[in-house]
Amino acid sequence: MSPLLSIKEISHVYFTKESIFHALQDVSFSVKEGEFVSILGPSGCGKTTLLSIISGLVTPTQGTVLINESEVCSKHSSIGYMLQQDYLFPWKTIKQNVLLGLNILHDKRKESINNALNLLNEMGLSKVEDAYPRQLSGGMRQRAALARTLATNPSVLLLDEPFSALDYQTKLKLENLVVKTLKEYDKTAILVTHDIEESIAMSDRIILLSKQPGRIAKNFTVPQELKTLTPFQARRHPLFPSLFHSIWKELEALESV
């Protein structure tokens, strides 16, 4: 089976007046349908740049990104992007925020709208659908942002440290919800994070990026026993600490270079 998403020899360079910043070098990997891949690395390793390139918002200096064998560009609707903060529009109600993507795409089909409202319901937000974002807690807002991202039914979901602004308890709950929802809708996802535990708990595969320029340092496969568990249960599984330890050692080695 050919992969859903393949990233081929991506290099990216930023130019400023004074300097040249080599963000990414020769990054290649592919993601199968339904797979959850985490990209782990120290801050400044070009993780967010990589997501922007995959989403088609930034054109890489070199290399290509293929989804279902065709090249991505910004006119592609099969990618959903969830940012570090919720970025819900404060002047729109939760319901209007969730329906934003469909409105932008002029998708007025009943089934799409029902699907979006259904998501709202699943995220436990149906009671607050007419509230404004500022009336909601951080966790609820991030859930609304997830519903907004999933509402347009993207085939690949990009998550850019979506839990980093939340408190620990909310984060754990949201991790469970995200994994459950993604499995339910059979979504492919790429999570960018610097949190080792989070990457082990949520994903099937972990790609370690080195810093300046960002390139793939190592691949880790999460054992089958952990994959089938929810993130919360995975954190308490006996295999969890050993994987954590080996990733930790690799990261240490990368940072000491």
Q: Could you list the residues that contact another protein (CB under 8 A)? A: 55, 57, 74-77, 79-81, 83, 85, 87, 89-91, 100-101, 104-105, 132, 134, 148-149, 152
Residue 18: CB atoms within 10 A of its CB come to 5
**CB nearer to another protein: pick between 144 and 172:** 144
Q: Give yes or no for a contact between 104 and 145, defined as CB atoms under 8 angstroms apart.
A: no
Separation CA 242–CA 246 (nearest Å): 6
* Residue 80 C-beta: closest distance to another protein, Å: 7
Separation CA 11–CA 27 (nearest Å): 7
Separation CA 257–CA 221 (nearest Å): 24
Altogether, the residues listed in the chain come to a count of 257
**CB nearer to another protein: pick between 104 and 253:** 104
* Residue 39 C-beta: closest distance to another protein, Å: 18
* Residue 77 C-beta: closest distance to another protein, Å: 6
**CB nearer to another protein: pick between 2 and 74:** 74
**CB nearer to another protein: pick between 145 and 207:** 145
* Residue 101 C-beta: closest distance to another protein, Å: 4
* Residue 82 C-beta: closest distance to another protein, Å: 9
Please state at what angle helix 138-151 crosses helix 110-122, rounded to 10 degrees.
150
Sign of the alpha-carbon torsion through 241, 247, 251, 257: positive
**CB nearer to another protein: pick between 105 and 253:** 105
